[in-house]
Structure 1
Amino acid sequence: MAEDRPTSGADVPPEREVAPAPSVHSLASELLAAADVAAPDLRGGTVLAMAEASDPVAPPRVEAAGGGCGGGRRILLDGAATTLTDGDRPTHLLVRAVGPDGSGVLVLVERGERGVEPWPRGGERTGEVVFRAVRLDADRVVTGEVRDPA
């Protein structure tokens, strides 16, 4: 049987200091910086959140959607995702998706885009979001590449 005895400070391992986990906003900012993309600058401040595949077998998908207004290239974003926020209502979602060739891409979606339902509310840390034929300018793909249909 083990004997109960008082321990001295020498017997007790020092407590490890655990660094606090970075905020979701910070992680999204780092991903944008690594892609050499500046975070959006909005009056009143930008709040970044992330959206990850709800179902790893069926992540959000991005495909080229041809020309847009003024002849610009467009993309189409479809699928369901889980949102990760710091509890604030985000102004932008950084969405992990896959392109037509199956490679990973990151897409920046701004609050108010048509086809994004529901947008994360303030106070939520996680939630579900669906992208239904969300049309965006091709420059919203911040990493990876989505080619026009041949």
Structure 2
Amino acid sequence: MEHTDHISQDEGLRGNEKIEEAIAALQQELSADMLAHTLTVVRRRMREQGQFILALETPGADEQLKVRAVKTEDGKLWWAAFTSFEEELKGGGSVMSTFLTGIHPLFESALKTEGIEGVIINPWNRTLMLDKNLIQIVLGQPKGDS
């Protein structure tokens, strides 16, 4: 079983190029329809048990692992998630510790975490900012006004 590890790890990322393509289309044409399409693609990947790559903060001696956050110009913090290792590497800088996580549990955690706005997918290139409202839409949770 030496070589199956690598395959199963990347298995969860296979299909994420559909998200990248949807984001690229959304960047070309920012419209409510394109956004709805992109959210649908993300939801479909989530339901297929898709995964994202998360970057971790390097913990201090007594700290637990924390998801690396990106600060936007307005000073808000977002968790950074990547659809592929190529996207993650576009940030340059130092090699970060990363781990794979299911899209669904990531979104659930983001909704419960104080102090973050949401999740930025691919902050360096094919970027999609999902605030908590959009995350709820992807998860299919009612917002009170259906």
- TM-score (norm: length of structure 2): 0.26
- TM-score (norm: length of structure 1): 0.26
Q: Structure 1 or 2: larger strand share?
A: 1
Larger Rg: 1
